[in-house]
Amino acid sequence: MASIILLVIVVAVVVALAGSVLIQSLTSINDVILSPLEKKCQEIANEGYKIHTLYPTSNPDELLEDDMKRLLYLDDLWIKECVSVLSSESIINIVNNVERDISYGE
């Protein structure tokens, strides 16, 4: 009797995991519809992150002058046009997408 209950539990867990994988594969991160402002903020974040990846262990004083100016400009845009306007959920989604875009080359 115990082996039948254990088998039922194992089958239920396998079905739940398979269903979860199926749902995640059908729901892509690219299917999320972004507003025009969110798209603009995504581009700002992508560009800023690319500059940060060029200098992963550097202090801000060690950046090339052009890169430092560009990064300061992007940071200012990010604060004024994104952080001060969008919800925290949108900001978190944008930041999470940046990491995926850059890390996985999407």
Q: Parse the chain into domains and list their residue ranges.
A: 1-31, 33-106
The C-alpha atoms of residue 45 and residue 39 are separated, in whole angstroms, by 10
The C-alpha atoms of residue 22 and residue 17 are separated, in whole angstroms, by 9
pLDDT for the residue numbered 12: 72
pLDDT over 90 for what percent of the chain?
A: 25
The C-alpha atoms of residue 63 and residue 54 are separated, in whole angstroms, by 9
pLDDT for the residue numbered 7: 75
Amino acid letter at 12?
Answer: A
Residue 41 binned pLDDT confidence (cut-offs 50, 70, 90): very high
pLDDT for the residue numbered 40: 92
pLDDT for the residue numbered 5: 83
Structure tokens at 74: 């992007």
Share the mean pLDDT of the chain: 78
First-to-last CA distance in the chain? 51
